[in-house]
Copies of this chain bind each other. A is one copy, B any other.
């Protein structure tokens, strides 16, 4: 008997009808002879509504209390889902983060899982029941207080349960058919990916692909969990995110392709786009030891995630250089203020802020062994008349910054240049889960 963990996001359980539909799918999986554990998010916009309410009573809600408040959302959805399954004649029991043994540190609002002790879940399964677990929430090891895991938390709950229970697979149900070679809303000819290595999935998620949260992919990779990202609106096979190195996956895909008579293996797995970042340029920085460190010290103290960094070669005549970096738009104003306050001390000339940038990232393990990937990328963009602002690379990723208004076109020409285009436009559903 296989053990399957299924995760359903907020849009999949937005109302009574959706809950009944999800319940039917879970019942089907159980009746096919599997043990089933479900991680579920709060219904629809419940969490955002609770946060709004918090801000009505307190300008800066206490983090411990905000976690208790938000955790109510998943208690509602999980108990309703269990009831719905019960009324279809199967035994289903719901469990809070605490009851499921989801033990975390005490960082309220962004807690990390430190241990999973799913004794009650295992007992429920042994008694033939389906276990429904509140996503997104845990209990702190020191104080037995409710914690939440932050954005993407329910994905992480599902993966952590799959790891602790040694599940065959962790199914992430969402409103799209799987992981696409690019965002189908940007690149209509994007194709669904059948299999991708967790290594590449991690790079795609980090580069802005939204379907899977990066922390869940990291967790799956670290604990050897295979993911199956699929649609809650169809029975189609989605995308398998397999827990092997990118090279292993590519070797396997190539072998299968050769067996099938296909000759060419795609070098690039996906093209991610991201419009959520801005660029700050620190102008006229003295090119002396420690200046760059001083700038990024200021940024780090504010807790902002800097992504790409480019330092120009300094002009010999002035001994001054410019340093540019990208960061989430939400952090922009705060970082600008902190840097301004340090201007005299660091001794730079000025600051520029640009929130009209787009980031495009090519991800593919094939680029380790294939030369010419960057040449193809730059040629494709040049032929389309698209200028590149910044470039950064990792072992299996190349990222470039363009103007925001040409990012979509950039993605389409690059997608085409690497032979990723499908023949039909992809189907896009509305809404996103948590």
Cα–Cα, bound, A12→B81 (Å):
31
A20 shortest CB reach to chain B, Å:
6
Chain B residues whose CB sits within 8 angstroms of the CB of A83 once the complex forms: 54, 57-58, 61-62, 65-66, 69
Chain B residues whose CB sits within 8 angstroms of the CB of A144 once the complex forms: 99
Which of B61, B86, B145 is the one whose CB lies under 8 Å from A62?
B86
Cβ of A72 within 8 Å of any chain B Cβ, yes or no, is: yes
Q: Are A94 and B80 in contact (CB under 8 A)?
A: no
Number of copies: 2
Q: Are A80 and B54 in contact (CB under 8 A)?
A: yes
Q: A75-B69, A93-B64 are in contact. Are A80 and B99 (CB under 8 A)?
A: no
Enumerate A59-82 residues with CB–CB distance to B below 8 Å.
59-62, 64-66, 68-69, 71-73, 75-76, 78-82
Cβ of A50 within 8 Å of any chain B Cβ, yes or no, is: yes
Q: Are B76 and A94 in contact (CB under 8 A)?
A: no
- The interface size bin for chain A is 35 or more
Enumerate A83-100 residues with CB–CB distance to B below 8 Å.
83-84, 86-87, 93-94, 96, 99
Contact indicator per residue, chain A 27-55, by CB within 8 Å of chain B (1) or not (0):
00000000000000000000000100110
Cα–Cα, bound, A71→B71 (Å):
12
Q: Are A65 and B50 in contact (CB under 8 A)?
A: no
Cβ of A345 within 8 Å of any chain B Cβ, yes or no, is: no
Q: A68-B94, A93-B64 are in contact. Are A20 and B57 (CB under 8 A)?
A: yes
Q: A53-B80, A82-B65, A94-B65 are in contact. Are A59 and B72 (CB under 8 A)?
A: no
Cα–Cα, bound, A81→B65 (Å):
9
A409 shortest CB reach to chain B, Å:
46
Enumerate A156-201 residues with CB–CB distance to B below 8 Å.
none
Chain B residues whose CB sits within 8 angstroms of the CB of A58 once the complex forms: 83-84, 86-87
Cβ of A16 within 8 Å of any chain B Cβ, yes or no, is: yes
Q: Are A72 and B75 in contact (CB under 8 A)?
A: yes
Q: Are B68 and A79 in contact (CB under 8 A)?
A: yes
Chain B residues whose CB sits within 8 angstroms of the CB of A363 once the complex forms: none
Cβ of A116 within 8 Å of any chain B Cβ, yes or no, is: no
Chain B residues whose CB sits within 8 angstroms of the CB of A80 once the complex forms: 53-54, 57, 65, 69
